[in-house]
Structure 1
Amino acid sequence: MAHPQMLKLPEVLAEIGMSRAAFYRMRARGKAPKLIKLPNGQIRCRRSDLDAWWETCELDAA
């Protein structure tokens, strides 16, 4: 079984063009892509979750 592609938070921020502070404000409002906290404390985002979030942004804009 293939593992899903996991993006580091800086990669997510670079892709969406947002600062860390702005991202966490958006996350506090429940509007950010789903994140996963690994046992070592690092944050990751599945590529599929980020793509799904992009789709919701497109639907909201339409």
Structure 2
Amino acid sequence: MSTANPTHRAHLTIAELCAELGVARSTFYDWRAAKKAPRCIKLPNGELRIRRTDLENWLDSLQVAA
């Protein structure tokens, strides 16, 4: 079931990820250094992208049972 939503791109830039989560870029890089960030794709030009599915799986893994 795929719903095309232009505000939800399949691959996010670091800036888009940080804006969506409301965190600073430095926080993302701190998480990445600690191996606690969502999985990233490194493009041939060195830029990083995060698949939306990886972001959502990562967020699901952070849920705490009520």
TM (norm. structure 1) is 0.81
Q: Please list every run of 5 or more consecutive structure 2 residues that lacks an aligned counterpart in the other structure.
A: 1-8
Query: How many pairs were matched up?
Result: 57
TM (norm. structure 2) is 0.77
Q: CA deviation at 1:26?
A: 1.2
1:57 aligns with 2:43: no
Letter in 1 for 2:42: K
Q: Please list every run of 5 or more consecutive structure 1 residues that lacks an aligned counterpart in the other structure.
A: none
Aligned to 2:36: 31
Instruction: Provide runs of 4+ in structure 1 moved above 4 Å.
Output: none
| 44, 49, 60: which one aligns with 2:49 | 44
Choose between structure 1 and 2 for higher RCO, CA contacts under 8 A separated by at least 6 residues.
1
Aligned to 1:16: 21
Letter in 1 for 2:18: L
RMSD: 1.4
